Amino acid sequence: MDIRIYYEDTDCGGVVYYANYLRYFERARTEYLETRGIFVKECIPKGFFFVVAHQDIDYKAPAFYGDVLNIEIKVSGISGASFGFDYVVRNKKSNQIIATAGTTLVCVNKDIQPMKIPQDIREKLVAAG
């Protein structure tokens, strides 16, 4: 997935503000899941959804206004109630690694209590991994 960096994404030094990568990862996750037939919006009426339980980011190089970043994403580890994603963010033009990251999501019920990932979702995640 490609992300174009706009002025609003940068800090006073002209570098992408560190917390904005969380938004980019959210977008990448959403696109990744939807292209595999997992629509989070459809999960909520079924009584479950996914919450972020852990996030880590290692910043390797700065990104700047006008850059186009490419986010590579893959499923990493699926357990009873949780699964993860790993990301590599690269400058699309230079192919330089900008950041690496990981997210752990937990499947929860409407009371925000952990629950097993539904089998159909699990199968799609396994097939994607």
DSSP characters over 19-57: THHHHHHHHHHHHHHHTTT--HHHHGGGTEEEEEEEEEE
The tokens describing 89, both together, are: 């963010």
Nearest to 122 by CA among 89, 65, 85, 78: 78
- pLDDT tens sequence across 13-51: 999 999 999 999 999 999 999 999 999 999 999 999 999
Tell me 12's DSSP state: T
Choose the catalytic residue: 11, 56, 58, 86: 11
- Can you list the domains of the chain with their CATH numbers? 2-128 (3.10.129.10)
Tell me 92's DSSP state: T
pTM: 0.92
| Residue 11 annotated as catalytic | yes
